[in-house]
Amino acid sequence: MTQKTLLNDTHRALGAKMVDFGGWDMPIHYGSQLDEHHLVRADAGMFDVSHMTVVDLRGAQVRPFLRRLLANSVDKLKVPGKALYSCMLNAQGGVIDDLIVYYLADDFFRMVVNASTREKDLAWIREQAAAFEVQVTEREDLAIIAVQGPTAREKVIGLVAEGDRAALQKLGRFAAVDATAASGAPLFVARTGYTGEDGFEILVGQDQVVAFWNALASAGVRPAGLGARDTLRLEAGMNLYGQDMDEAISPFEAALAWTVALDEGRDFIGRDVLEAQKAAGDARQMIGLVMYEKGVLRHGQAVTTAGGTGEILSGTFSPTLGKGIAFARVPGGELGQVHVDIRGRQVPVRVVKFPFVREGQAQPGVLGER
């Protein structure tokens, strides 16, 4: 049975085109995916991401538990309110999910995991937590609205209680704080996002989410759907679980080596496999591609390099760059000239470092000559 967020009627009243996304009835756009993409790059857009799963972890051994569970090290989190991006791995070093974890107190951490992986994530987390006597609570009472774009923060700050505004003004990136909306609704406000723009991801009670969405709309924040969210995140060089990585792919094969902390004395799940893969030096690599000819790079297209053949993972037409862009996974080693098979034709593409776009601007080299 398809699930619905409490904003479903609101989306429909706004004329949204709804699609099934991981078993949820979600808005893909409200008339123009392209306009919504540019809206977030230039101003502020809001996304209903209440389909994502919030998990609270409590117990005296919660930090040792997370040191075991995650490939990144929660020891980096030294101040309450700080957040960390990490992968959660299986014993084979494959990615069960990617997530954000927040350090709220010595005995209290919060995680936000993906919607499509909710059931397996909760089962895995609970299985691993048992030995540490950590209490795992799914927060079904919370909804999430992401407000993203260069004016996003100021518009959200104008909607919170006056006494909380200074805390939100000085909130650093990848950090969170409790606040209160002007209406009195409790908020958990994180300076995180999935678009490459500044902004907040806001957890609010399900009973208050429609009112808070409407308050954002009254403040000039317009809605954006999951279509724009996907083109924005790809421009920003951010992975999509299930397309760019899964349980058969290690972080090293998903350009996420920066999220793996091989710190001394920490035996996280999958570590031995990652260490062997790193020592062998033969892991497949995920690369960024730009196509200068007209057309779109699409998932599943074959990619040829000097080392062999790979394939496109995520691909789209970049509204900001006006070019086809993609992630591809290819054999390790030298790449040489890279081509993509488009309907039987070998089309040359440029290999670039991602992100392709940062804060609305093409990154150096992305639009250079072929």
Shared domain for 254 and 358, answered yes or no, is no
- In the prediction, which pLDDT does 240 show? 98
Q: What does the alpha-carbon distance between residue 324 and residue 81 come to, in Å, rounded to a whole number? A: 38
Shared domain for 179 and 307, answered yes or no, is no
Q: What three-state secondary structure class fits 78?
A: coil
Range of the domain at 173: 1-277
Q: What does the alpha-carbon distance between residue 174 and residue 56 come to, in Å, rounded to a whole number? A: 18
Shared domain for 198 and 293, answered yes or no, is no
| CATH at 252 | 3.30.1360.120
Shared domain for 205 and 188, answered yes or no, is yes
Residue 370: pLDDT over 50:
no
Residue pair 157/219 in contact by the 8 Å Cβ criterion: no
Shared domain for 34 and 83, answered yes or no, is yes
Domain end: 277, 300, 330, which one?
Answer: 277
pLDDT tens for 321-334 read: 999 999 999 999 99
Length of the chain: 370
Shared domain for 204 and 273, answered yes or no, is yes
- Token duo for residue 10: 């609101």
Count of domains forming the chain: 2
Residue 134: pLDDT over 70:
yes
Shared domain for 251 and 334, answered yes or no, is no
- Please give the mean pLDDT across all residues of the chain: 97
Residue pair 51/24 in contact by the 8 Å Cβ criterion: yes
Average pLDDT over residues 153-177: 98
| CATH at 331 | 2.40.30.110
Shared domain for 251 and 298, answered yes or no, is no
- In the prediction, which pLDDT does 369 show? 52
pLDDT tens for 249-275 read: 999 999 999 999 999 999 999 999 999
Residue 205: pLDDT over 90:
yes
Shared domain for 264 and 291, answered yes or no, is no
pLDDT band at 310 (very low <50, low <70, confident <90, very high): very high
Of residues 153, 322, 144, the one with CA closest to residue 231:
322
User: Cα 309 to chain center, whole Å?
Assistant: 28
Shared domain for 159 and 290, answered yes or no, is no
Average pLDDT over residues 297-324: 97
Shared domain for 116 and 156, answered yes or no, is yes
